[in-house]
Amino acid sequence: MTVAVSLQHVSKTFTQKPVVNDLSFDIKAGEMFGLLGPNGAGKSTTIRMITTLTKLSGGAITVAGYDVAQNSMQVRQRIGVVLQQTSVDGDLTVWENMEFHGRLHHIPNSRRKQDIDRWLEYVELSDRRNDAAKTLSGGMKRRLQIARALLHEPEILFLDEPTVGLDPQARRRLWEIIRDLNKQGVTMLLTTHYMDEVEYLCDRIGVMDNGTLIELGTLAEFRQKHGEGLVMKQLGDRWEYQFFPTLEDANTYLNQQPDKTGMMVRASNLEDIFVELTGRNLD
């Protein structure tokens, strides 16, 4: 399968402190790739390097076959970026935000109006086209950001915590849009603090900590490696977790305990494995 994004021994140093250190992984064309890590792990810096916003200190990154250091313009033409921070211009209308982006990407007049109509309809904002962006809800603003990022038809879309701060209904609607775009062939890299989001959306997952990649694979591979069964035991105000190869093994262990007070068995999930790997929660 074609590789859409490739990082080879990438490093980034700020004031002699390594933020990203010898990072290597590939994202396949058409893949939905999740990048996880606690605050300060180096995720944002990695995305900024991939999207040409920050220079590498070492190593190489190629996006859609182009080197980010040597061919930054070609890379930018082939990517779309949806940042965590709302980046739409609140004083412009929904249509004007799209029009401005289309002109920046030199989309011909003959095609631009048609494409704007198409993407506003896709994210269900056609009826708000003449409204100022500042009047939109948080979920609508995020959908506008996605429509804007798709206007120049990028091959690869970067989503940096796209649903942060949204209500459950708005999150679910964005999930539907993201999955549908991926089914259409758009390669995606997603960062998020919501484990259920990663479990629902992502094909493969990379876990970063202290600037390095500490785990890479599918959720099924993670569970097979670290354990599919979990025994939880309450110790005062905290829980102790013990992994087992299977749920059956976990139940067997529990049944052998003379005192089962405060103990329970369940299947392991991504959050359990993340905490096991990093020693702490995402936030």
Distances in whole angstroms, Cα of residue 269 to Cα of each of 223, 230, 243: 8, 9, 11
pLDDT, tens digit (0-9, with 9 covering 90-100), for 205-228:
999 999 999 999 999 999 999 999
pLDDT recorded at residue 215: 96
Q: Which residues pair with 67 in a beta bridge?
A: 62
**What is the pLDDT averaged over residues 248-265?**
95
% of the chain with per-residue pLDDT over 70: 98
State the pTM of this model: 0.88
pLDDT, tens digit (0-9, with 9 covering 90-100), for 31-59:
999 999 988 889 989 999 999 999 999 99
Reply yes or no on whether the pLDDT at 179 is more than 90: yes
Cα 195 to Cα 119: distance, rounded to the nearest angstrom: 28
Query: Which residues contact residue 244 at a Cβ distance below 8 angstroms, ignoring those fewer than 6 apart?
Result: 227, 228, 229, 230, 231, 250, 253
Rg for the chain, CA atoms, rounded: 21
What's the full length of the chain, in residues? 283
- Contact criterion met (CB below 8 Å) for 23 and 46: yes
- Contact criterion met (CB below 8 Å) for 2 and 29: yes
Cα 167 to Cα 169: distance, rounded to the nearest angstrom: 6
Secondary structure tally for the chain: helices H, strands E: 10, 13
**Structure tokens that stand for 34 in this block:** 């999740």
**Complete domains list, the chain, with CATH:** 3-221 (3.40.50.300), 228-267 (no CATH)
- For the ranges 70-74, 121-125, 165-169, the lowest mean pLDDT is seen at 165-169
Cα 142 to Cα 171: distance, rounded to the nearest angstrom: 10
- Contact criterion met (CB below 8 Å) for 159 and 249: no
Return phi, psi of residue 202, to 5°. -95, 140
Indicate the pLDDT class of residue 283, thresholds 50, 70 and 90: very low
pLDDT, tens digit (0-9, with 9 covering 90-100), for 137-148:
988 998 999 999
**Structure tokens that stand for 221 in this block:** 């591979």
Distances in whole angstroms, Cα of residue 123 to Cα of each of 66, 110, 174, 208: 30, 22, 9, 32
- For the ranges 1-5, 66-70, 259-263, the lowest mean pLDDT is seen at 1-5
Three-class SS state of 162: coil
Cα 113 to Cα 131: distance, rounded to the nearest angstrom: 17
